[in-house]
Chains A and B, each alone.
Chain A
Amino acid sequence: MGPPGIGKEALGYWFTHSGLVQNDFCLYTTRLSTREVLQDVKAFNVDFSQRVPFWFASGGGQIKFDVNDLAGLSYNIKDILKKNSDRRIRVVTDVLSSLLMLNQPDAIYKFLTQLFTDVKQYDSVVLATLEEGMHPPNVLAAMQQLFDGVVELRLYEEGLRVLPLLRIRKMRGVPPQPGYYNFSFSKTGMEVKAYSG
């Protein structure tokens, strides 16, 4: 989670790319069309020309994504996971904020609770991006409670300098990590280093 422009999508792209390199099955669920995503991906030097994720997108993908059709979203994700249950699976999505904007938060909470129960039956990881400024604090808290891990990307002030830093807000199975981490995107991926401010 984090404000717009901070690099959440880039993290999603590199996470997908890394999965594809390791021959994981990667499902990219997006409110955008594949054309728009591929255009954006180029800006971060991520190469989807050789290995391509399975697209669940509003246009140009294998399955058409409709932000108003929660039942269809759930059914399609479960169906795709079932068909690829023999592989490690990565699900990357940027639809969470859109879903929360267009539906009642409690409906999305119930929807995600059920979806995660189903997804956890497989060897899978779901990475979802959440726009921080778009939702009230109680909704953000509910989403943090629902996910096993929460990574926060934000700008911080250090004297007169402005730094993009990463914090692990929560990670199930890992002791609390109260520190900050510097992060940046290079041509080979996301680089994270301990912050020594």
Chain B
Amino acid sequence: MSIDVVSLIDSLSWLVTSIIAILVVYRGIEIGRALVSGVYRNRAFWVAALGLVIFIQALPGYVPFVGDVVIVGVPLFEIAFLSLFLAFFAFVDSTILVALEMDFFHRNTLHWRQIRIVGYPLVFGFIITILFSPPLTLPGLLMVILAVGTIVTIPYSAAALIIGARRTWDRTLKRHLTLLGFVFVVYLVSFVEATTSFNNPTPASDLLGDFLVVLAPYLLYRAAMTLSPISRIEKETA
């Protein structure tokens, strides 16, 4: 496969990611507005917020000049990428708290109530340090991000989400949480793939990366849609 085709697929994958992310935002807001129960409304709005962050983060992938924009001396793509970690952590935190609440025995899954107290300052401090400390080389910066993100945040969150889902009696929320767990597993695999192929990218690794970049928001979209079944209006009876 020629490099041009791989490059085209790469750009298209970010475009598709953005389109799916916009759908996630739209569906999340629409479902949130339609639901009455606070738990489900909040889940829908949180999914919409995460979709928005993914959309912003994907923009530089196919709109190059967006990546070149600098805010307070920091490239926009760097801010977008790092803010993804905080958004993920806040999203996972709110989701796991709901899962703990819905667990009949209110078990403290993977000591999340303690982890979250340490987690917020850690993630926030990490982002601020990276953004405003003396410039790191891009590979070095990426390695730090990937190390912290991969080793701590994502797998731990995914595990807590999936265990939380298993302990929830509510089947709708169980499906929703399980899909969210898979979203984070896909991001984990994506980050590992990006790290391992960073210095020696091959067309196959690029294609795999593109596939994972699209798969994660797609699963998020499915997660949004599991919050409530949506039927079609039968026109002859409407």
Interface, chain A (partner B; CB < 8 A) = 3-7, 9-10, 43-44, 132-134, 154-158, 160-165, 178-180, 185, 195, 197
Residues of A within 8 A of B35 (CB): 5-7, 155, 164
Q: Output the least CB separation between A36 and chain B (Å).
A: 11
The stretch that binds A, out of B51-59, B209-217, B229-237, is B229-237
Determine whether the beta carbon of A160 is less than 8 Å from that of B26: yes
In this complex, what residue of B is CB-closest to A190?
B36
Which residues of B have CB within 8 Å of A197?
233, 238
In the complex the two chains form, is A5's CB within 8 Å of B230's CB?
A: no
- Across the interface, do B238 and A3 meet the contact criterion of CB distance under 8 Å? no
**Chain B residues, Cβ within 8 Å of A155:** 31, 34-35, 228-231
Residue among A3, A165, A178 with most chain B CB within 10 A: A3
Q: For the complex, what is the distance from the CA of A4 to the CA of B44, rounded to whole Å?
A: 13
B68 within 8 A of A: no
Measuring CB to CB, which residues of chain B are less than 8 angstroms from any residue of chain A? 26-27, 30-31, 33-41, 170-173, 227-233, 237-238
Whether A157 lies near B231 (C-beta < 8 A) is: yes
* Contact A43:B38 (CB < 8 A) given known A133-B229, A179-B237, A195-B238: yes
Residues of A with C-beta under 8 A to B34 = 155, 162-164
In the bound assembly, the distance between CA atoms of A157 and B34 in angstroms comes to: 11
Closest to A134 in B: B171
Whether B231 lies near A6 (C-beta < 8 A) is no
Do B36 and A4 have beta carbons less than 8 Å apart? no
A68 to chain B, nearest CB (A): 14
Interface pair A4/B230, CB less than 8 Å apart:
no
- The CA of A10 and the CA of B27, in the complex, are separated in Å by 23
Nearest first, the 8 A-B pairs at minimum CB distance are A5-B40, A5-B37, A7-B36, A162-B30, A178-B237, A5-B35, A164-B34, A155-B230
Contacts of B39 in A (CB 8 A): 5
Q: Which residues of B contact A6 (CB under 8 A)?
A: 35-37, 228
Report yes or no: A156 in contact with B230, Cβ–Cβ below 8 A: yes
Among residues of B, the one whose C-beta sits closest to the C-beta of A153 is B36
A4 x B172 contact (CB < 8 A): yes
Among B31, B33, B40, B172, the one with the most A-chain Cβ atoms within 10 Å of its Cβ is: B172
Determine which residue in B26, B30, B35, B36 has the highest number of CB atoms from chain A within 10 A of its CB, and name it. Answer: B36
**Bound CA–CA A180/B35 (angstroms):** 17
Please name the residue on chain A nearest to B237 by beta carbon: A178
User: How far does the Cβ of B22 sit from chain A's closest Cβ, in whole Å?
Assistant: 11
Q: CA of A164 to CA of B35 in the docked complex: distance in angstroms?
A: 7
Partner of B172, one of A3, A162, A163, A195: A3
- CB-CB nearest in chain B for A5: B40
Beta-carbon contact of A4 and B30 below 8 Å = no
User: 17 additional contacts, CB 8 Å, given A133-B229, A155-B230, A197-B238?
Assistant: A3-B172, A3-B229, A4-B170, A5-B36, A5-B40, A5-B41, A6-B37, A9-B37, A44-B36, A156-B232, A160-B30, A162-B27, A164-B35, A164-B36, A180-B233, A180-B238, A185-B36
Contact between B171 and A156 (Cβ–Cβ < 8 Å)?
A: no
14 CB contacts below 8 A, A to B, read A5-B37, A5-B39, A5-B172, A5-B228, A43-B38, A132-B229, A155-B230, A162-B33, A162-B34, A163-B34, A179-B238, A195-B238, A197-B233, A197-B238
